[in-house]
Amino acid sequence: MVPSRDPSAVTAALSRNVRAMRLEEGLTLDALAVRAGISKGMLVQVEQGRTNPSLATLCRLANALGVSLPQLLDVGPPAAVEVVPRDGNVVLWQGAGGGEGRLLAASEEPCPLELWEFRLAPGDAYKADPQSPGTVELVHVLAGRLTVGVGDESVEAPAGDTVVFRPDRDHEYRNAGDEWVHVVIANAERAGAGGIDR
């Protein structure tokens, strides 16, 4: 299920889901905040629907609760067929130069799968924490020249190329050029591996 096109519905779903999942796990606010590595104040704001947390905070919460990012943002039961227009995508990362990362669609069956779109302005870099072992990332470059760093390795891919790697180490997408970079990313997690860390 993809997030709703209505930002207020996503905020309400996040608030409802985090609280319900925390209580189901028998965790206090303090315990979940410590497990997720965020402040108790931030967690309270999330549960009360009073903040738009960063992508890093969302991923920390998902991992701490043992769920994927789509589950954390799920607004309700999926339709049999759904078209998500571009203006309905959720922007979960914004770069200093105006770049952005959008969650285009997601599914939990048969394993957690996410489809992302990233636009990186010249000089933009998105740094990601290691994800669950068994996760695979496929990055297709639509425009520009993308630099992908995984651990100590770094590769460059021009438009038309696809980079495939296991993101179980620190990794980064970087635009070292002077033109915008546009990519789509498929992220597939091995079933039962826990939350996807973005």
134-189 residue pLDDT tens: 889 999 999 999 999 998 999 999 999 999 999 989 999 999 999 999 999 998 88
Q: Measure Cα distances from 147 to 45, 151, 153, 169, 189 in Å.
A: 36, 13, 10, 16, 23
* pLDDT of 80 higher than 80: no
CATH number for the domain running over 86-188: 2.60.120.10
Please tell me which residue, 40 or 109, carries the higher pLDDT value. 40
pTM above 0.75, yes or no: no
Please tell me which residue, 69 or 98, carries the higher pLDDT value. 98
Question: For residue 53, what pLDDT is reported?
Answer: 85
Question: For residue 166, what pLDDT is reported?
Answer: 92
How many other C-beta atoms are found inside a 10 Å radius of the C-beta of residue 11? Answer: 18
Same fold across 7-73 and 86-188: no
Question: For residue 7, what pLDDT is reported?
Answer: 66
Question: For residue 194, what pLDDT is reported?
Answer: 47
* pLDDT of 88 higher than 70: no
Q: Are 119 and 100 in contact (CB under 8 A)?
A: yes
Question: For residue 1, what pLDDT is reported?
Answer: 43
* pLDDT of 16 higher than 50: yes
Average pLDDT over residues 1-6: 48
User: 7-73: what fold?
Assistant: 434 Repressor (Amino-terminal Domain) (1.10.260)
Q: Shortest CA distance to 158 belongs to which of 185, 137, 140, 184?
A: 140
* pLDDT of 47 higher than 50: yes
Please tell me which residue, 74 or 62, carries the higher pLDDT value. 62
Question: For residue 4, what pLDDT is reported?
Answer: 46
Query: Domain coordinates of the chain in residue numbers?
Result: 7-73, 86-188
Question: For residue 191, what pLDDT is reported?
Answer: 59
Question: For residue 196, what pLDDT is reported?
Answer: 39
